[in-house]
Structures are given as C-alpha cells and as structure tokens.
Amino acid sequence: MEEFEKNGQRLGAVCLVSFLLLNYPVLALFNVPVTALGIPLLYLYIFAAWSVIVALMALIIEGSR
C-alpha cells in the first residue's frame, strides 16, 4: 500500500509540472515566429513537453510493477 501512495504522489507531481509546462506564461515564451526543422517552435515545444509527460507517467506506473 505504501508503494501505491508513493506512485500517487509522484503522479500528482507530474500533473502539477504538466500544468505549469502547458500553461499560458510558459507557452508565451515559445510563441515566436521561429521554425525548427520546418516546424513552428510553439508546436515543437508542445509536442516535446507532452511526450516527456507521457514518458514520465509510464515510467512511474511501470516502475511499480
């Protein structure tokens, strides 16, 4: 049961960090007319942040098994 509580706290922390990363003030930093590899920087940031969030959640959940 203790491992379940640890995982819940870790997932809660990832949720809070994801809210921070995908909220207006941080997104405004990447909303510039620049492209990287032909992709607008804002879209690249959103996709990269989302990928990191999903990977962290998978590591937390799979690490408990």
Is residue 65 predicted with pLDDT exceeding 70? no
How much is the average pLDDT of 7-22? 96
Which pLDDT score is estimated for 13? 97
Burial 3-30 (b: 16+ CB within 10 A, else e): eeeeeeebeeebeeebeebeeeeeeeeb
Tens-digit pLDDT profile for residues 19-55:
999 999 999 999 999 999 999 999 999 999 999 999 9
- pTM (predicted TM-score): 0.88
Q: Tell the residue number behind the tokens 């510039």, with chain if given.
A: 32
